[in-house]
Structure 1
Amino acid sequence: MVFGAETEQPVSVVFTGTRKELGGMLLRGYALLIPTIGLYRFWLTTWKRRFYWSHTAIDGDSLEYTGNAVQLLMGFLMALAIFIPLYGLFFYLSTQSTDAVLAGYGGAAVMLWFLVGYAIYRARDFRLSRTLWRGIRFDQAGSAWAYALRRFGWTVLMGITLGLVYPFMAVNLWRYRYTHSWFGDRQFSFTGSWKSLAAPYYVCWLLSAVIGGVTLGMASSSGGISASGQINEIGYFVFACGALPIGLLVLFYQSREWTRMWSAVRLGQAALTIKIRFRDLVGQYALFSLALGGVYLALAIGGFIVLGLSASGAFADGSFDPAVFFQYLRSSFVVLVLVVFGYLLILGAFAMMSELFLGLGFWKLVAKGATISGATSLRTVHARGEDIALGGEGLADALNVGAY
């Protein structure tokens, strides 16, 4: 039945969702976050995933997301069982000596970093087990603890080697994730090698080190760094100029890693090929920056108008007096509410622009550049039982390392 799979026409991945549709969904969701004290985010996350999944079609058939908000909420409540004792530990440490505080917080940071790897793996398991294509469910086996230990060990080596082991770490973690992934009763495989990442990574690493050294030298020679190590406005400007080319190098490398690693994923005779271009990633971030800047400018103008009417004394003679403004904050409940609301608008605007131009943009880039060869062989895949675990994504949500 799969004879000639190598010569059959590759099938495409098509995404039909629009930024307008997602934007309307996000606005409704953010509006309900405040009256529900943030609990509506579990429902918003569910609707976002259904939006992405249902608008993504492989060979003419859309993905389906079967998770629900109650599952996410239950998982989050389970995660609180870990964090409540941890918060109690932090409070206890705050009453101890400086050495005990440093040791305790250092140990807690190490534990949380380890748990991040565990949470990422369990969250991926949750999303896959709630994803169907042609009525057949994806799944992930393997051990989240083993993945977390593997990731933690690699990050220790990353620190020791100043990042030089990254190609080995990346391929090792990609391989663990995909060789433990399933579509029905068929297991994924991974053919990637560190050699495919070595050249772009080490070139970018070397150029970043050179740019970083030159930037530090320029900041010091231009007076941007004082003798005591303090950084002034000149220093911040020089460092910002140096950060831009390093950021472009990061995007260049990411385009190469994602292209080569995803294109090494196999499912029996079916092979995935993805092409993500560097210029498309740059354009995506440029659009995000322009959109965020425009929204923040509009919020700033609106904020000055509203505060100018409610705290007019702080804007007397066309200038801003911080001391008078803080008096308004202490004495006027309306001004305090307006400031808090403005702060929430700033956070909401950032989250919304990130989703519309980075999250949605990246999903569209992947779909646009993806093709699957040998897709006919997938017709013989049979379904397996459903993973009904609820706690898979709670820790990832609490640690803010979830996705889509």
Structure 2
Amino acid sequence: MSYVPQQPPPLPPLAAVFSGARGEFFRLVSRGAAIELITLGFYRFWLATDIRRHLWVNTSVDGDAAEYTGRGKELLIGFLFAMAILVPIYLAYFLVTVEAERYQGFASVPLVIAFYAFGQFAIYRARRYRLTRTVWRGIRFWMDGSGWAYSGRAMLWTLLAVLTLGLAWPWRAAALERYKMRHSHYGDLSGDFEGRGWEFFKRAWYLWVITPFAMLLFPLLPFVYAQFKAVEWRWWLSGIRFGGVRLESTLPGNAFYGLYWKVIGWWFLLSIASGAYFGAVAFLMHSLLGLGSDDLPQAQALSNNIPMLVLLGLGYIAWILALNVVMRLYLVRDMWATVLASLQVHGVEAMANVAARGDLASALGEGFADGLDVAGF
């Protein structure tokens, strides 16, 4: 009788653990915002790298933490290359509108289409860059496929979503994620996506009904958007596969209510503070120049006062950077921690004997994403 080796039983699902200290992240983004102010925003490439490294290294499964190997210099170079492509497009559009105003409306149509195509290309290539800079247990994730093929699919699906008043959006999300995941790999382990558009629609159909009313009633809108993002995250994570490895999320629909309302609350407080600052600067300059309230020429001179414009500009930049700190704290760090707290990994033993494969991708996609202000999973 031949001996048949017994397969070991599958391991129980493992929880994803996030151990990053909130205070440490707050100091990281606060210091980064201050350096951004000094460097006129160029430090954002290194800040983005530091944020990812903090999130990755404090995220672990089965006791092993992830690594992020990206560099701020790579993001800067990718941004400069992207600008070398985008700036001539901006310039060509400007020249067309100057040459013939009657063509301005016509020219804006291909411009919008071109930028949308570039944006979708950027989303794909940016994810490819981030994936190739992610390492777990010494094995790199990587991605192949075509960013332009993805962009073409995204444009067609977006057109269908517009024609159906948004009802086709869940199927769009499923189709595009399936393309991305089927070109994603962990070493020699191939990815897949099993989420279906119908599943997404069943979980969120009522949000399409509520949204028109929410747009008229502001207090309702943050709840609707937060609910949609929670449903989307849970659906997306639960559909991810890498060979025999699958993810499962139990994220509740109300998981993000508090996060979005805290951001809104801070936005109001920061706006009040900046308004008080702008008023104080204007009053100070008005007092120093001794202008009368009905003296229009002198009032115009006040608006052209260089020190006043500098102080107002610094106040505006400080308001933007402070708001960025709030958004990074609540909508990046806290949302990351909330999502991971709901996540379990099944079949992690399938990653035990994975062979390393894949090459590093360039940061061009990240540069396009930064230049066009687009983002995606």
Does the Cα contact within 8 Å between 1:75 and 1:394 map onto a contact in 2?
yes
Residue 3 of structure 2: aligned partner: none
The answer to whether the aligner puts 1:338 opposite 2:341 as a matched pair is no
CA positional deviation for 1:45: 1.3
The answer to whether the aligner puts 1:401 opposite 2:377 as a matched pair is no
Distance of aligned partners of 1:277 and 1:28 in 2 relative to their CA distance in 1, 3 Å threshold: same
* Secondary structure, counterpart of 1:382 in structure 2: coil
**Corresponding residue to 1:297 among 266, 269, 272:** 272
CA positional deviation for 1:13: 1.1
Tell me, in whole angstroms, the C-alpha distance in 2 between the residues paired with 1:285 and 1:326.
41
Does the Cα contact within 8 Å between 1:200 and 1:256 map onto a contact in 2?
yes
Tell me, in whole angstroms, the C-alpha distance in 2 between the residues paired with 1:320 and 1:14.
64
Residue 275 of structure 1: aligned partner: 250
Distance of aligned partners of 1:90 and 1:274 in 2 relative to their CA distance in 1, 3 Å threshold: same
Residue 119 of structure 1: aligned partner: 122
CA positional deviation for 1:325: 5.9
The answer to whether the aligner puts 1:254 opposite 2:229 as a matched pair is yes
Residue 365 of structure 2: aligned partner: 392
Does the Cα contact within 8 Å between 2:188 and 2:356 map onto a contact in 1?
yes
Structure 2 spans left out of the alignment, 5+ residues: 1-5
Residue 329 of structure 1: aligned partner: 303
Residue 202 of structure 1: aligned partner: 205
**Corresponding residue to 2:57 among 49, 54, 73:** 54
Residue 131 of structure 2: aligned partner: 128
CA deviations over 1:247-268 (Å, ceiling 9, x no partner): 4233323322321221121222
Distance of aligned partners of 1:91 and 1:20 in 2 relative to their CA distance in 1, 3 Å threshold: same
Does the Cα contact within 8 Å between 1:292 and 1:349 map onto a contact in 2?
no
CA positional deviation for 1:2: 6.5
CA deviations over 1:129-169 (Å, ceiling 9, x no partner): 00101111011112111110000001111111111211211
* Secondary structure, counterpart of 1:280 in structure 2: coil
CA positional deviation for 1:315: 11
Tell me, in whole angstroms, the C-alpha distance in 2 between the residues paired with 1:403 and 1:191.
19
Residue 259 of structure 2: aligned partner: 284
Stretches of 4+ moved more than 4 A in 1? 313-317, 319-326
Distance of aligned partners of 1:398 and 1:2 in 2 relative to their CA distance in 1, 3 Å threshold: farther
CA positional deviation for 1:4: 2.0
Distance of aligned partners of 1:401 and 1:313 in 2 relative to their CA distance in 1, 3 Å threshold: same
Residue 147 of structure 2: aligned partner: 144
CA positional deviation for 1:293: 2.7
Residue 12 of structure 1: aligned partner: 15
CA positional deviation for 1:3: 3.3
Tell me, in whole angstroms, the C-alpha distance in 2 between the residues paired with 1:162 and 1:323.
52
Tell me, in whole angstroms, the C-alpha distance in 2 between the residues paired with 1:300 and 1:273.
46
Question: With structure 1 as the length reference, what TM-score do the two structures score?
Answer: 0.84
**Corresponding residue to 1:349 among 322, 346, 349:** 322
CA deviations over 1:182-232 (Å, ceiling 9, x no partner): 1111011222122212223332212334x27xx8xxxxxxxxxxxxxxxxx
Residue 227 of structure 1: aligned partner: none
CA positional deviation for 1:311: 3.3
* Secondary structure, counterpart of 1:89 in structure 2: helix
Tell me, in whole angstroms, the C-alpha distance in 1 between the residues paired with 2:200 and 2:186.
27
Q: Which letter maps to 1:362?
A: M
Residue 234 of structure 1: aligned partner: none
Tell me, in whole angstroms, the C-alpha distance in 2 between the residues paired with 1:45 and 1:250.
25
CA positional deviation for 1:11: 1.2
The answer to whether the aligner puts 1:98 opposite 2:101 as a matched pair is yes
Does the Cα contact within 8 Å between 2:78 and 2:363 map onto a contact in 1?
yes
